[in-house]
Amino acid sequence: MRNEKAKVLRSIRPIAPGEFPSAVVMGQYGAGTAGGAAVAGYRDERDVAAGSTTPTYAALRLYVDNWRWQGVPFFLRSGKCLPQRATEIAIRFRRPPHLMFPLPAGHDLESNTLAVRIQPRESIGQRFEIKVPGIEMSRMAPVDMEFDYSAAFGGTDHDAYDTLLLDAMLGDATLFTRTDEVEAAWTVVDPVLDWWAEQRPADFPNYAAGSWGPAAADALVGSVGAKWREP
């Protein structure tokens, strides 16, 4: 498993210098509302410089150059002061070349999505389009199916460190990051950080606390006709 994790990181295509503006979005939150309470902007936080250009949000478009994922864009995003804390992997399926059911003019189907929630509640969800019962063949609607570990098996939640401590005692290193994996990961990230160090963003803050990030991030994923999934 650790060999495969390092292998996929080494397969990530480096972002060419001229592609950074179209493949990377950085953000910093301003004043807003989160959890029903007013939140100050990052630059108004204690010990933060009034003109700080430290990002609190990042979104990337990456490609994995191997035979399985060739040509498939991977979009990653992470940020502070978003509507909720969640870690998940969402797979958005491509539209087939033909449709089983005819659609009225101007209508389109939403892409099927498979979402794997890692935390805080481990679950697997699938969203897909289905024909609405009835004689009309063109009426479609999205539906959701979800498997939740806690709902299925009861109170099985435990701290992630419980597993790591047990693995350490058992001598199982599967979940631990190996040196070559760390180096491969920094090989991907370092050029982005170097490029950003030379930037002087004029639009910070560019998203409100309690929102899902800057509009430029929506445009980034929208460049391939997709949109971010909101957990």
Q: Along the 231 residues of the chain, how does pLDDT read in single tens digits?
A: 999 999 999 999 999 989 999 999 999 999 999 888 999 999 999 999 999 999 999 999 999 999 999 999 999 999 999 999 999 999 999 877 777 777 777 677 778 999 999 888 889 999 988 888 887 767 788 899 999 988 888 765 667 788 889 999 999 999 899 999 999 999 999 999 999 999 889 899 999 999 999 999 999 999 988 889 888
**How many other CB atoms sit within 10 Å of the CB of residue 6?**
19
Beta-sheet pairing, 123-131 with 140-148: antiparallel
Per-residue pLDDT at 155: 66
Residue partners of 48: CB distance under 8 A and separation at least 6: 42, 54
How many angstroms separate the most distant Cα atoms in the chain? Answer: 64
Q: Beta strands of 80-179 (E only): which ranges?
A: 87-92, 113-119, 123-131, 140-148
Determine the Cα angle at 116 with ends 114 and 118, to 5°: 165
Tell me how far apart the alpha carbons of residues 177 and 5 are, in angstroms, rounded to a whole number: 9
User: Residue 137 is encoded by which pair of tokens?
Assistant: 């063949």
Domain 12-83+188-231 in this protein, CATH class: alpha beta
Tell me how far apart the alpha carbons of residues 21 and 196 are, in angstroms, rounded to a whole number: 10
Tell me how far apart the alpha carbons of residues 206 and 142 are, in angstroms, rounded to a whole number: 32
User: Residue 165 is encoded by which pair of tokens?
Assistant: 């401590």
